[in-house]
Every structure is written in C-alpha cells, then in structure tokens.
C-alpha cells in the first residue's frame, strides 16, 4: 500500500512476526469485549436494579460514550507516550473499573462505572496503530486485518460469553472474570510488546489541538470516519435491541441468546479478507459494496422478524459488512500520515463511537415506541447515508483525477512547445 502524504515513514521494526500479531489480536479482542458484555444482559440488569428496559439500555450508551471520551482524550497519547507503558497501565485502571461494576449496589453507580470501563477500554485502539507501525508498509493491510479480526472476534463473542456466564453464575460474574483477564493481559503485554517511543515532541495540549488540523486537512479521513459512523451505528442498533426481540417474540433464554450471538461472530472473517483487498488497491470499491450490504441486512431482518434463521443470516451479513468496511477504512487512513497514526485513529474512532452511542440510544427509544420494525427502518437508513457520502467521495476523486490529468497534459504540451 503506497504512502500517500506526510512525513516519510521509517522502516518497520523487525519485532513484528506472526506470534506478535496473534498477541496483539488477542489483546484487542479481550479488551474491546468489555464494551459489549452488557448488551445481552440488559433484561437481567433491569431486573436486578429495578429499572425499565429503556433505562437499562443506557448502560450500552454510556459505555460507548465513555469509550468515545477515551478515544478523544486518551488515544492521542499514543503519539506522545511510550506505547507499551500506556497500554499496560491503562489496563490496570480497566481492571479496577470492572471490579467496581461487579459490586455496584445501585444503578447510578453501575452507570458511572460503565463510563470508566468504556474510557479505559481504549487500549484496543492503542494497539491497532501500534501494529500498523510495526508492520512493513506492503503488508500493513494484512497485519491490520489480522489484528482487527481479533478485535472483531472479541466484539462478536463478548455477547455469547457474557450470556453463558450469566446463565451459570449471574450477570455480575462476567465483570469479575474480565477484571482478572485484564490484569493477566497487562503482565503479558509488558513482557512481550516491543517498546515504541513516538517521535512527537510537543506537549499534550498541542497534541489535542492538532486534531482539528487533521480533520481540516484530510478529506479522506473525514469521509471514512463519517461513513464508518453510519455503519457502526447500524451495528449497535441491531445488537442493542436484538436481545429484547428474541426474548419478547421468540421467548429466548440467556443460553439461546448466547448461541444467537455466536452466529454473528462469523462476521469477523471479513477482517483478513478486507486487509488483502486493501493491499491490492480495491478498498474504495469494496467499501461501497459493504455499505449496501449492511442496508440490505436490515431489510432482511425486518422481513424475517418472525424467523430466527433469517435474523441470524441478517446478523452475519451485517457484521461482515461493518467489519469489512472498518478494516478497509483503517488501511486507507493509516497511510495518510505515518507520524500521526494515533491521532488519525482518534478522529476516526471517536467519530465512529459517537455514531454508535447515539444510534444505540435512538434504537432503544425506537424499540420502545415502534418495536422491531422501527429499529429496522432506522438501521436500513444509516448505511444508505454512508453510501451517499461514499458516492460523493468517488465523484470527488474522479473529478480530481481528471483535473490532474488535464494539468499534466498541459504541462507536457508546454514543455514540448518550449
């Protein structure tokens, strides 16, 4: 994948190898799973604290809001602080937050701690740009795709694991288990990760201030971030409300919900496929296909509301499309500025998770007011909005290419005349 603009990139360190790629993938999956454990447990949480289903949905919204805050204010530190130290120390805070969530006696405390869990789970997004730094330029798409496959597997399996644990040990147990896992993960990363000291010399305030400049100067980053926000919004719309749908219409228990969530994990197969597509230069076309596929998945979910197999197929198609689009987007934006990957990821992922948090809140309200049909209508429209932005980007790129070709021809003609 070619270097687009910016500071020339240093040769990738030799530390990157398949074993380290696997470690990063597993670490991303285990960390990001903290954001999704609550989704299939909302009915249990509501019953435990004596609140409504709609109120319980705010757990998902606030966890994702916390993640967005961590992305905005914590992730830029990846361009300032040594990455291994940043990741391992943040994991210690994550473990503490998870333990507090497990013992929360009142709903208000649980909501507050959920924000902290989301904020500190940003470690997953510290590790993805680190993988891009360590990978050779011509293999960056493949490496990022493999690491993202671990992250996405964590997202998709989190619901299954939390449902099964809740059925066996109660809904609070998953928070205790994850806290222990975070502590173990901090030790493993401390031992295995290579050190990476960023080149950025300015202070934290200057680092945050530079985010606005990145947004203004990188139209590809703006478009990719907004398009993925619509995709992730569709993703959270589906998974925030599907447990209610399965319980209310199909009378599922926690084990059945866990098995349904497991079906969606097939979407993680998109990540390595998308990485290879990006390395071969077909990322933009494939992105349009992914956006259209996500919208079609919601149409299928609406038509098949009474059929669990059709809902499962819709889940797989949606997850595949969303994850494919994310890997294609990250492969493109990481090539923009080698010296600012953490901040680029900050802009990208903050936008994405603001879209996700907003959509989960809207989805909860729509489900209460209009049921599954309202949720599916909203989910169908979101990727279509992204598709319009994608089409505009394609048109702009073609227009720019035509203008560049005309200027090159004129310059060649003037040279011949001279």
pLDDT, one tens digit per residue, over 14-63 is: 467 888 889 999 999 999 999 989 988 888 998 889 888 778 888 988 99
Q: Give CA–CA dist 381/390, Å, rounded.
A: 14
Please state the rounded mean pLDDT for residues 77-105: 92
Q: Quick one: pLDDT band at residue 200, thresholds 50, 70, 90?
A: low
Q: Could you report the per-residue pLDDT of 152-174, keeping only the tens digit for each?
A: 788 878 888 998 899 899 999 99
The values of phi and psi at residue 220, to 5°, are -65, -40
pLDDT in tens, 339-363: 788 889 889 988 998 898 889 889 9
Q: Kindly report, residue by residue over 267-301, the tens digit of the pLDDT.
A: 666 667 777 787 777 778 899 999 999 999 999 99
CA dist 2 and 335 (Å) reads: 7
C-alpha 187/C-alpha 181 separation (Å) is 10
pLDDT of residue 299: 97
What is the C-alpha to C-alpha distance for residues 321 and 301, in angstroms, rounded to an integer? 15
> Per-domain residue ranges for the chain?
18-417
| Element holding 42 (H helix, E strand) | helix 42-49
CATH number of 18-417: 1.20.1250.20
Q: What is the separation of C-alpha 131 from the centre of its chain, rounded to a whole number of angstroms?
A: 16
How buried is residue 101: exposed, middle or buried, by Cβ count under 10 Å (0-12/13-18/19+)? buried
Distance CA 324, CA 17 (A): 23
Looking at residue 379, what is its pLDDT?
A: 96
CA diameter of the chain: 83
**Higher-confidence residue: 64 or 187?**
187
Residue with tokens 């998770």: 353
d(CA 355, CA 382): 10
């Amino acid at each position: 994948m070619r270097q687009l603009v910016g500071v020339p990139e240093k040769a990738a360190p030799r530390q990157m190898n398949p074993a380290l790629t696997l470690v990063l993938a597993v670490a991303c999956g285990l960390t990001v799973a903290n954001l999704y454990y609550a989704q299939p447990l909302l009915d249990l949480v509501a019953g435990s604290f004596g609140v409504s289903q709609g109120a319980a949905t705010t757990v998902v919204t606030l966890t994702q809001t916390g993640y967005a805050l961590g992305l905005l204010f914590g992730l830029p530190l990846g361009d300032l602080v040594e990455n291994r130290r940043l990741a391992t120390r943040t994991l210690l805070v994550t473990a503490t937050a998870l333990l507090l969530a497990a013992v929360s006696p009142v709903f208000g405390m649980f909501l507050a701690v959920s924000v902290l869990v989301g904020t500190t789970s940003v470690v997953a997004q510290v590790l993805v740009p680190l993988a891009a730094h360590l990978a050779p330029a011509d293999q960056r798409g493949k490496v990022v795709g493999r690491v993202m496959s671990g992250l996405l597997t964590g997202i998709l399996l989190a619901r299954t694991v939390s449902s099964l644990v809740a059925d066996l040990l109660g809904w609070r147990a998953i928070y205790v288990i994850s806290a222990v896992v975070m502590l173990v993960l901090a030790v493993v990363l401390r031992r295995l990760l290579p050190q990476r000291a960023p080149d950025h010399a300015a202070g934290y305030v200057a680092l945050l201030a530079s985010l606005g400049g990145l947004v203004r100067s990188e139209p590809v980053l703006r478009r990719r971030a907004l398009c993925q926000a619509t995709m992730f919004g569709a993703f959270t719309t589906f998974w925030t409300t599907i447990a209610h749908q399965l319980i209310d219409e199909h009378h599922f228990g926690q084990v059945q919900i866990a098995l349904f969530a497991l079906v969606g994990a097939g979407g993680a197969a998109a990540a390595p496929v998308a990485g290879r597509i990006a390395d071969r230069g077909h990322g933009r076309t494939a992105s349009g296909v992914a956006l259209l596929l996500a919208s079609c998945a919601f149409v299928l979910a609406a038509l098949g509301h009474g059929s669990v197999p059709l809902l499962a197929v819709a889940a797989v198609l949606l997850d595949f499309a969303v994850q494919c689009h994310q890997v294609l987007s990250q492969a493109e934006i990481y090539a923009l500025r080698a010296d600012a990957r953490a901040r680029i990821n900050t802009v990208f992922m903050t936008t994405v998770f603001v879209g996700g948090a907003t959509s989960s809140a809207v989805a909860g309200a729509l489900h209460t007011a209009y049921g599954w049909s309202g949720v599916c209508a909203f989910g169908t429209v979101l990727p279509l909005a992204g598709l319009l932005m994608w089409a505009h980007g394609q048109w702009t790129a073609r227009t720019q290419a035509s203008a560049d070709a005309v200027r090159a021809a004129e310059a060649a003609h003037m040279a011949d005349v001279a």
